[in-house]
Amino acid sequence: MLEPDTRLIVALDVSPDRAVEIAETLDGYVDGFKVGYEVVLAEGAAGIERVAEVLEESFLLVDLKTADIPEISRSIVERVSEAGANAAIVHGFVGPDVVEECAEVLPVFVVATMSHPGAREFYDRACRDIVKACDDIDGVVGYVAPATRPERVREVRKITDKLIASPGVGAQGAAPGDAVRAGADFEIVGRAITEAHDPVEAAKDLTRAMRTSRPAER
């Protein structure tokens, strides 16, 4: 289900109506979709359900970047699971007890560090330790590491054989394929697709660019 093929995950940071429209149009063209606060704050779990219902081939990640105590994090992931998510995103800096609790409910991608410049300040310093601490947890299927800093993707890849999903392509400046060449399995792309005149063409261009980039050795 979470196997890389086109290697593209589309971030649907748009209204629920638009998210459903784009998901319906691109289902099967891309490996997966990601919905988060834009959709959930507009319609609650029903927003997630609406997107999940239109997907027949691609998977759905729900990204609430959960970062609470284990019990609360688990109940958030339970709601997300009931709404139809195939995997959830949990912050790594909160510690392996939180990650473990969430990963008992649903496959989890752990945020190892982030794509924005400020992540160098604190998050980058914890990146290696987060991956080492989470890698033996059943249910952790992968990590989020930034396409904007491929050296961080390489760092994560050296420690783990699990999946790596990398945001930061397009609007944040990374070129398609940069993260895959550094060892990522998926690249997460939002605005470069959702704000394109023709999202289908934009997605096809990106998948073409990624297909031509050789994945790093494992």
70: CB partners within 8 A, 6+ apart: 97, 98, 100, 101
Among 31, 63, 100, 185, indicate the residue that binds ligand O7E (CB under 6 A).
63
Residue number, nearest CB to ligand O7E: 190
Q: What's the full length of the chain, in residues?
A: 218
Residue 205 three-state SS:
helix
* DSSP H helices in the chain: 16-26, 37-43, 45-54, 70-82, 96-103, 123-134, 150-159, 178-182, 191-194, 199-211
Among 64, 88, 114, 134, indicate the residue that binds ligand O7E (CB under 6 A).
114
42 binds ligand O7E (CB under 6 A): no
Q: Is 168 annotated as a binding residue?
A: no
188 binds ligand O7E (CB under 6 A): yes
Taking only Cα atoms into account, the Rg of the chain, rounded to an integer number of angstroms, comes to 16
Q: Which stretch binds ligand O7E (CB under 6 A): 40-48, 110-118, 133-141, 196-204?
A: 110-118
Among 40, 90, 105, 111, indicate the residue that binds ligand O7E (CB under 6 A).
111
Identify whether 65 is a catalytic site residue: yes
In the bound state with ligand O7E, the residue whose beta carbon lies nearer, of 55 and 169, is 169
As given in the structure block, the two tokens for residue 185 are: 């399995």
31 binds ligand O7E (CB under 6 A): no
CB atoms within 10 A of CB 117: 10
Q: Binding residues for ligand O7E, per CB under 6 A?
A: 11, 13, 34, 36, 63, 89, 109, 111, 114-115, 144, 146, 165, 167-168, 170-172, 188-192
